[in-house]
Structure 1
């Protein structure tokens, strides 16, 4: 007889996991862990430090320009790293987008788990209540488990009665507070992102006077930034005229208050200050600073007079200011028609002192208020380089034109008081007429600020609930034998130093409630 053997049984090969899916799954788990969320939150706080230390273009472009002058080697490097536009940089956006994703991955599962925990009944009482951190017995005739449950409900415990045992718990507001706080962080991030996408901002140096009024168009901003979802046509239409500026200083020269008064669309004057912005329909106007704009009248060699109102940028706390007054259309020969000689242009580099010292050197103002104003001027003649089409600053001369000899200094520096005149070598003259004050304004619209503010308020509420909430449970078991006996046990789920006293008060409250029930019966 031939025996036939069964073929050997082979176990199926284990299915090999897709390495790409495994990598994505592990990466998602790492990203959505609470540890990663805390690290990203810390990185976000660290990344925001340069935005608080270094000047930002979205806040004050003048401070950024001054930083480039004071640190010519370091500033270009920082600019390439986005340090002057920190909150709009790619690396900062990447951090808060990763934080947003991490928080969503952390909070949503915790929310579902918290919802299930709230809807579920408290757990069953353990068999040995005497092993719990808190334990007590009531050896007297009292009511049953239902009466104990009713007494606990009056003290706002979540109660579950199962036969002769009672389970109760409190403190879910702690986890509710945690979730509120994390959702508030999400709201803040959403508010910042929404404001960045649909918001806009612009800076303007506004000189007092009707002829220097400003209208809210991109062409009239000194510096601006539009969100990706904003077009120039979306800007609200309004015009501002600076009618007055009041600055008060302490005896030390420190400013005590700034207040600007503007006329909006030829309406009634409206005032605003540093901490109280001007609220308009679709925009807010913030006061950043102020300075002086000297008025200079130049009369060229042909007797033609021109007046320039040139804002000077402050260089110190005493409002010592530097600037340039340019006259590119000067020295046009009337006999030659309107042809302009580019090599006969004139500009004056100036140093303005609101309160000049009594004796030289006249290099710094001694007080920021205009008590003894003086203007130091250096005259230049030649080609200002304005026709080359190369962008430049209106607050300083093109140094390249000076270096290549196309723009030359004429004479020596001269100090002028208000009303004084200086005559140049070609018979032309320049006169210091006085000054006008200017205000540096930041005009911006941020639709996400209310969302961020609401998130901050909710976050504060959630933090308070998280810090004050304490998870704890109590259990009661009614036993009957020779005499009725109630055994109680308590368990704090979190560190709670006052739980022993609360447990004692809870047992006493249950005892009193059942005594009252016994009397009624």
Structure 2
């Protein structure tokens, strides 16, 4: 080859651009990012932030009635909230994604640390540094004892609460370490988070939650047909439901009648009689935060209201509709809305919708309720007749009156007929349609019935988290070294020079007291030469 001939450069076998990662390298980098402690903390923060809407916005699986009221009051926001699953936050895809990523991140963080901690447990405490006098917390003194006697005494003193390093016959030091439980507490704390998450997941998969409104005097049996709303877990089986029933015997409310919270309910209590299977009936006073527990199933009292007893007679005088009708509270004063439907009335179906005022009063010409207690109960409803959409096979909410094909009942002057009644009053409907009677007011309660298989596991995780947190906060890891050598520059002086040093591994502890305690136990006649 001539000197002027140019060489052809070798082709690179790797066609990647600088910084480009292969699929394996990208997967490894992604895994490292997900399993870093920084990512775990970020996901934990995101999970806490994601739970905020669930505590502020009514949840369909907790109180469907509150969700219905919220939608009625916020018609513009409702479509947006429904698209974001804000009425069922804890079962939404985005919340589940954060939840699963947190579990994955915690597992990836904890498993490598377990192996590191296992190796640390098996490892011996480190040997003493060559110059203990350079340690930040150290002291030295001389004694008449021999080095062997001093080291033997150091092993006895430190061996009570420290782990000692195995030393040879020629070693002139004793090395001790304690505080391994601190890292164990840290690991237990992180493992407990996984246990809590596992308990919550078990409750979501195998448990169920339902709600029902019960008027005083009615009986509930624990089967699917009795629930107003029911949300089962993904692996729920109907045979999990326990065989029990209970009757609401009475309901009482203690109202605040003075002070800044005038008119609010201070305490409410429902007296129940329940029976498990074919067992004997038992009494229980159901209160807020004091649920009835029946064979792993909890019954919570979560709301109450009023159910006016209304009787409707048709044009022939026959009773076509009677009984308590649940009215839903609209505000803290228990101003309530309700609907009455009579599909069998003749000559035409009769429907009522309107308001119930527990303590009716006129203020500035407007009807209001000034108190949540039923001191002056009053009904004010509009009446309709005709086709209420009850015969077309479509399902209807009991709290909605279909007026599309109905005719509003009016008075002789053409104004809408308003059914304004108090207990014992009867109003005759025009055109021979019948009459409406307001008999009395019965209270109703809303109970939530749930079965949560993993709650014991979640509680165990919380307890372990507290234990682990206390260990990691209050246990101080430290190392102690004691060296004993003959006094004198050439090692032929009289007595023994003892050096003691203490190191706090957490980096923020005061070790002077620890050093003083070790010196007190080692010295017979203290003779401090230098101390820092």
Q: TM above 0.5, one fold?
A: yes
State whether residues 308 and 325 of structure 1, in contact with CA within 8 Å, keep that contact through their aligned partners in structure 2.
no
Shift of 1:31: 0.8
Match for residue 30 of structure 1 among 19, 30, 33: 33
Match for residue 179 of structure 1 among 170, 175, 187: 187
- By percentage of residues, which structure has more helix? 1
Q: Secondary structure at the match of 1:243?
A: strand
Alignment partner, residue 265 of structure 2 = 255
State whether residues 152 and 510 of structure 1, in contact with CA within 8 Å, keep that contact through their aligned partners in structure 2.
no
Alignment partner, residue 406 of structure 2 = 406
The yes-or-no answer on 1:312 pairing with 2:316 is: no
1:411-433 deviation line (CA, Å, top 9, x unaligned): 42132111001111123110000
The yes-or-no answer on 1:388 pairing with 2:400 is: no
Structure 2 CA distance for aligned equivalents of residues 347 and 361 of structure 1: 27
Alignment partner, residue 84 of structure 2 = 81
Structure 2 CA distance for aligned equivalents of residues 272 and 67 of structure 1: 27
The yes-or-no answer on 1:294 pairing with 2:308 is: yes
Pairwise mapping of residues 153-164 of structure 1 onto structure 2 (< 5 A)?
Answer: 153-154=159-160, 156-162=161-167, 163-164=171-172
The yes-or-no answer on 1:511 pairing with 2:516 is: no
Alignment partner, residue 417 of structure 1 = 422
Shift of 1:220: 2.0
Shift of 1:315: 0.9
Structure 2 CA distance for aligned equivalents of residues 514 and 146 of structure 1: 18
Alignment partner, residue 453 of structure 1 = 459
CA RMSD of superposed structures (Å): 2.3
Pairwise mapping of residues 74-473 of structure 1 onto structure 2 (< 5 A)?
Answer: 74-142=77-145, 143-154=149-160, 156-162=161-167, 163-209=171-217, 212-251=218-257, 252-265=262-275, 267-305=281-319, 306-331=321-346, 344-357=348-361, 361=365, 363-398=367-402, 401-402=403-404, 405-410=405-410, 411-427=416-432, 428-473=434-479
Q: Secondary structure at the match of 1:144?
A: helix
Runs of 4+ in 1 over 4 A off after TM superposition: 12-18, 358-362, 512-515
Structure 1 CA distance for aligned equivalents of residues 524 and 55 of structure 2: 60
1:357-389 deviation line (CA, Å, top 9, x unaligned): 166746331111121111112111121112333
Shift of 1:176: 1.3
Shift of 1:79: 1.5
Aligned length: 487
Inter-CA distance 313–362: structure 2 relative to 1 (3 Å threshold): farther
State whether residues 502 and 514 of structure 2, in contact with CA within 8 Å, keep that contact through their aligned partners in structure 1.
no
Shift of 1:238: 2.2
Structure 2 CA distance for aligned equivalents of residues 395 and 13 of structure 1: 74
Q: Secondary structure at the match of 2:391?
A: helix
1:439-470 deviation line (CA, Å, top 9, x unaligned): 00100000111111111111011111111122
The two structures have a TM-score, normalised by structure 2, of 0.87
State whether residues 221 and 245 of structure 2, in contact with CA within 8 Å, keep that contact through their aligned partners in structure 1.
yes
State whether residues 358 and 373 of structure 2, in contact with CA within 8 Å, keep that contact through their aligned partners in structure 1.
yes
- Give structure 2 stretches of 5+ with no counterpart: 1-9, 411-415, 528-532
Structure 1 CA distance for aligned equivalents of residues 462 and 111 of structure 2: 19
Q: Secondary structure at the match of 2:430?
A: coil
1:293-352 deviation line (CA, Å, top 9, x unaligned): 0111111101111313210000111211110111111116xxxxxxxxxxx211111311
Structure 2 CA distance for aligned equivalents of residues 490 and 267 of structure 1: 68
Q: Secondary structure at the match of 1:236?
A: coil
State whether residues 180 and 477 of structure 2, in contact with CA within 8 Å, keep that contact through their aligned partners in structure 1.
yes
For structure 1, which segment, 494-503 or 24-33, has the greater mean C-alpha deviation from structure 2 after superposition?
494-503
